[in-house]
Structure 1
């Protein structure tokens, strides 16, 4: 199996997903450019030369044939690891709850379920098209990005509105005598509370969008990496995870579809300003 390393983005946004096993044995971290189907190992350009001198009949694939490469460890962990019990591997599928299960899930939540089968069995009859899932994820990602940008704009709008109203409050304050200092302080505290409340709600939306977007993006990349892999078990797991995350994202967007742009309103007390 190819050795994978943590994804690292450089200035060109290139992801170093595979490392050369020969270089790695020398404590050198170098990105692999080729995968040997016979050795099941990845090599850089230099090490491949030495490999080909010894194994002239081995079949190798370059980056342009990435569909012939194995899945990266990052992708395998994303798809095979249980979302609840991170150290456990998904092995079963509960038809009663439509949930992927690890051994711990089965013991805690699905002991009474009647329709529980090995993933290898459930994967024999896939009901979801991976490409359709990928397309659906792209649509959800676009919706999440749109909503996130809207809420981020609202944050700036609230800040601008806050600054404007603060100035109004201070202008009104100039018209009052010194005995109204306490009223000014009380009004400013109320304004700060309103801003804090609005910003907390808006930032929560932004954070939720970022989380869902990142999780969907990871699944999208993982799903795209499944093309031509012929791994029915992993495809089944991927499809279930994608469906769950799509449902969560759609529900979140639906719940927040009626939100309007937030603003702060200040109205001076006419009785006070007229005295």
Structure 2
């Protein structure tokens, strides 16, 4: 029996050999199962004699492949047990652990066995049961090795995360410095450009002012000379000379008076100034607003002041279920025709409707599908997207408000929001697609935009888009992220607008001076923001949950429809600057 009762090995020592008896080493894992199997190898790592079957465990686990197996016959004697370093001592009494209480599953010294476990039914000597632990030790070793591997993975990953964090923080500083350099370069270029234009303006203006000054000084000289002549002739001239002078001077004074009056009417105070838009200021946003995510800033090149629009209600109607309606109306698309008539599509009742400037219904057309959006493509033609069919219908709307189907083009994607990009293409928002906005031609050809949109799909009624033609920008709302994203197609940069006045933005339209009007559902308002992302105005509507918004072609009227159950409305608002 090995020291401290930690091993159970059966062999015939050379010192104890009996003449005629053959030395036999037994497999320790098999012995623990009361099987007498001759050992074929010895593993110094496992510290066991093993038969060939038991040693095959080294082939099953990758971390055991480096264990060294030697022929058991070459081992005369198993190495002595190593120092347990106090593990074989009772913590309470500091005596050798000699017993094991199977009732309470505890190791005991002689004192523990007598004092604490005298009432237990099964307290046995460790030496008698030590062989049972051999297979368990192998299992424990495997578990500890697996734990070590996992812990190493955690350590490796944690170190990698720390390194990455430090690297990212350094990169942020580098990016800010690079941005500062770019901004300084922009200001240097701006200074050169403004100075160039100022000098050109100065030269042109000074030439005009010099000519005006010269002409006016000549008028003074002519008037002074004429006064002297009149005085001299009046004092020393004959009556005939005075009469002749009077007739001459009448004509001259009229002509001179007319010239001077024109100069007086063209008086102007010439000044030159240069002002920055306040949106160039970058307030210190809390970093928590942008984790996770990224913030990309594009300084505005427009130095013109942005004036908030003013909205004033013109008229309003309640949208109620009529005799031929299956349900209460729900307008999912609005747009103005060039002549000012409003086109609406009713998703619940599958209709296309025409309203005049007083919001009187003047035309109606029954559709065979659930419409999602409508956009005017010419003086008398509109395009409608479908909520359950992959197509775009083009309808003719006559001056007399008759509506007829003109043609249909097939598409491969469902589109919810649409607006005209140019005379031949739409910018359209998709439904449940990895590319949330696409360009679709009037013939149905679809093309992706070269923009890094978020890698997510948007179900129906969770996003809307529009397009700013003059600056080549796509505006894209994310309803449940409460954000408005302004994408610059040329530079592939994004301005993210997140504000407490914007809650569940459902729709967006381009207003005067290319401002952006956002339909904020939860704040019951229309929010005016600049292209640089500054919130300029929030107009509280007298309707709940505004859902769709559009602007007339002359940018003077806004139409708004809501989605409030039992309180649906359609309103027209006047835009003033």
| Structure ID, larger Rg | 2
Hey, which of these two has a bigger chunk of strand by percent? 2
Higher relative contact order (CA 8 A, sep 6+): 1
**Common topology (TM > 0.5):** no
Higher helix share: 1
Alignment TM-score, normalising by the size of structure 1: 0.26
Question: What is the TM-score normalised by the length of structure 2?
Answer: 0.14
